[in-house]
C-alpha cells in the first residue's frame, strides 16, 4: 500500500488530477447532472453512498440483458456464462486488494462481513465443544478471560458484532481510547493489546474524524499478542491503494456502495488458512460437498461462506467499479481528495462558531470533514445546505460512542470523491458560512 500523506508529501511522479479532469469524470455520472432546489447538485455524501458511473450501470444491465442465470448450478449456456463473469469479478476484486482468489468472499455489505466473521468465531467455540474440527479451529474459539479489542472511533458495524461476540462467549470487550484530536492513544494501545487479546478490530480511516490510523503499527501489536487482526476498510478501499497482504491483516471488509458500485454487495477478505477452518455462518445450498439426513460437510472458502443464490449482477458491477478506480488511479484519487479535504478543513476552521472534528488543517486525512455549528442542530444545517443544492450527511454517522466522547450528539459531515471539484467545496463553504446568521445563532 502506498504511503498515506498530505498532498505536499505525496510522490510527485503521480500525475496530478485537476478540475478540468474532474469535470470530464463527472460526465460519467448521470445523477450528478441535475438541479436540486433550482441549483446544480453538489454531492458531498459519498462517505455514506457514492454515485455510479455509466460503466458500472451498464455492466449490471448487460448481465441481466445477456447472461442472467443462477451460478454454479446449471450446465446450460447462460448458467456457464453467468458463472464465468461472477468468478471473473471475484478475481478482479482479489487483484484490487492484493488478495488471492479464494480469500475473497461476497457479502451484502461490510456489516454482513463483520457479522459473518463474529458468528463464525462463535461457531468455532461450539464446534470445539462438540469435538468437531482440529486443534487449529480450537485455537480460534473464544472463552471467558479472552479479550476483544476495538477503538473508540469505530462505526457501529465494527463495534456491535464484537459486543455480541463477547456476550455469546464470555470474552471481555476493551477499547483503545482517542485523544481530543481523534488520534488513537497508541501508548495505551500497547498496554491494552496483550496475551489475552484474541481479536483486534479497527478502522483504517474514520468515517467521522477523517483520520487515517497506523495500520501496520496496530497490526504488529495484534500479531505480537497472537490476536486475529480485522480491518474495516469501508472508508479506505474506495479512496486509497489497498494491499491486504502488505498490511498483514487477517481479515478485511468493505462495501461496494461506497466505491461506485450498487448497494447489496460487499467483500470479506480472510486469510485462506483461516477461512478454510472457520465454521460457516449461513448454511444451505452451494456451500456443501456431502449432505445426509444427519449432517453436512462443507466446501472450502470462498463457497463455504456463500450459501444460497448470490449477488451476481452486483458482483459484476463491483468489478466494473474497481476497474474504473484502477484506471483512474487510486494514488491520483487519494491525492485529489486529500487536497479537497484540506480545502474543506481550512475553510471550516476559518468560519466563526464552527468546530471541526479530527485532525486540524495540514494533518493527514481523507477527503471528509465532520463539524458542529454552534447553536444550530446538525439536521437544520443539513436542510439549510440542501436548500442550496448541497447534499451532506447529518446525525451521529453510526458512531454514537465517538460523538459522546467528543461531547456531541450529532454533526454535519461533508465527504468528497473523485467527481468533486474545488468549486463544489467552495460552494459548500460559502453556504456553511451563512448558517448561523440564517438561524440567528
Catalytic residue annotation: 398
Helix then strand then coil, in percent of the chain rounded to 5, is 40, 15, 40
Angle between the 77-97 and 312-328 helix axes, to the nearest 10 degrees? 40
Q: Which three cell numbers stand for residue 180?
A: 481530543
E strand spans, 396-434: 411-415
Q: Which one, of 284, 289, 249, 246, lies nearest residue 268 by Cα? A: 249
Give the helix/strand (H/E) hosting 290.
strand 288-291
| CB-count burial class (<10 Å; 0-12, 13-18, 19+) for 144 | exposed
Cα end-to-end distance, the chain, whole Å: 45
Q: Distance between CA 26 and CA 14 in Å, rounded?
A: 21
Q: Distance between CA 177 and CA 174 in Å, rounded?
A: 10
DSSP 102: G
Helices vs. strands in the chain: H and E counts, helices first: 16, 17
Q: Distance between CA 262 and CA 53 in Å, rounded?
A: 10
Give the helix/strand (H/E) hosting 394.
strand 393-395
Q: Distance between CA 210 and CA 182 in Å, rounded?
A: 9
Beta carbons within 10 angstroms of residue 23's beta carbon: 12
Q: Give φ, ψ of 289 to 5 degrees.
A: -105, -50
Greatest distance between any 2 Cα atoms in the chain: 71
Amino acid at each position: 500500500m502506498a504511503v498515506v500523506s498530505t498532498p505536499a508529501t505525496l510522490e510527485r511522479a503521480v500525475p496530478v488530477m485537476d478540475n478540468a479532469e474532474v469535470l470530464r469524470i463527472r460526465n460519467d455520472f448521470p445523477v450528478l447532472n441535475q438541479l436540486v432546489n433550482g441549483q446544480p447538485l453538489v454531492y458531498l455524501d459519498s462517505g455514506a453512498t457514492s454515485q455510479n458511473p455509466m460503466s458500472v450501470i451498464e455492466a449490471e444491465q448487460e448481465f441481466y440483458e445477456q447472461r442472467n442465470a443462477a451460478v454454479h448450478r446449471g450446465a446450460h449456456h447462460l448458467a456457464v456464462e453467468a458463472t464465468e463473469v461472477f468468478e471473473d469479478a471475484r478475481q478482479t476484486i482479489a487483484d484490487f486488494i492484493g488478495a488471492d482468489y479464494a480469500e475473497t468472499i461476497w457479502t451484502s455489505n461490510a456489516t454482513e462481513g463483520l457479522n459473518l466473521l463474529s458468528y463464525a468465531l462463535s461457531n468455532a467455540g461450539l464446534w470445539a465443544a462438540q469435538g468437531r474440527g482440529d486443534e487449529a479451529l480450537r485455537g480460534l474459539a473464544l472463552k471467558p478471560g479472552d479479550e476483544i479489542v476495538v477503538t473508540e472511533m469505530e462505526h457501529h458495524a465494527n463495534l456491535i458484532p464484537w459486543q455480541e461476540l463477547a456476550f455469546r462467549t464470555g470474552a471481555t470487550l476493551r477499547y483503545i481510547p482517542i485523544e481530543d484530536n481523534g488520534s488513537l492513544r497508541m501508548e495505551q494501545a500497547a498496554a491494552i493489546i496483550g496475551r489475552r487479546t484474541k481479536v483486534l478490530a479497527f478502522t483504517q480511516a474514520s468515517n467521522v474524524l477523517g483520520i487515517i490510523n497506523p495500520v501496520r503499527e496496530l497490526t504488529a501489536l495484534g500479531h505480537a499478542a497472537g490476536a486475529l487482526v480485522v480491518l474495516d476498510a469501508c472508508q479506505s478501499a474506495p479512496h486509497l491503494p489497498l494491499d491486504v497482504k502488505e498490511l498483514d491483516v487477517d481479515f478485511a471488509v468493505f462495501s461496494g456502495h461506497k466505491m461506485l458500485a450498487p448497494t447489496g454487495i460487499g467483500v470479506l477478505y480472510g486469510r485462506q488458512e483461516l477461512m478454510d477452518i472457520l465454521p460457516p455462518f449461513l448454511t444451505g445450498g452451494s456451500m456443501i460437498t456431502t449432505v445426509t439426513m444427519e449432517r453436512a460437510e462443507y466446501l472450502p472458502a470462498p463457497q463455504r461462506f456463500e450459501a444460497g443464490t448470490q449477488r451476481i449482477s452486483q458482483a459484476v458491477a463491483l468489478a466494473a467499479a474497481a476497474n474504473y478506480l484502477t484506471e483512474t488511479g487510486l494514488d491520483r484519487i487519494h491525492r485529489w481528495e486529500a487536497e479537497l479535504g484540506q480545502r474543506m478543513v481550512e475553510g471550516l476552521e476559518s468560519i466563526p462558531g464552527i468546530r471541526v472534528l479530527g485532525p486540524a488543517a495540514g494533518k493527514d486525512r481523507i477527503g471528509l470533514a465532520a463539524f458542529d455549528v454552534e447553536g444550530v442542530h446538525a439536521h437544520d444545517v443539513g436542510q439549510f445546505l440542501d436548500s442550496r443544492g448541497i447534499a451532506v450527511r447529518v446525525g451521529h454517522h453510526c458512531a454514537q460512542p465517538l460523538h459522546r466522547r467528543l461531547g456531541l450528539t450529532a454533526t454535519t459531515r461533508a465527504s468528497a470523491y473523485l467527481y468533486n471539484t474545488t468549486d463544489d467545496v467552495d460552494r459548500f463553504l460559502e453556504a456553511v458560512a451563512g448558517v448561523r446568521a440564517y438561524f440567528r445563532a
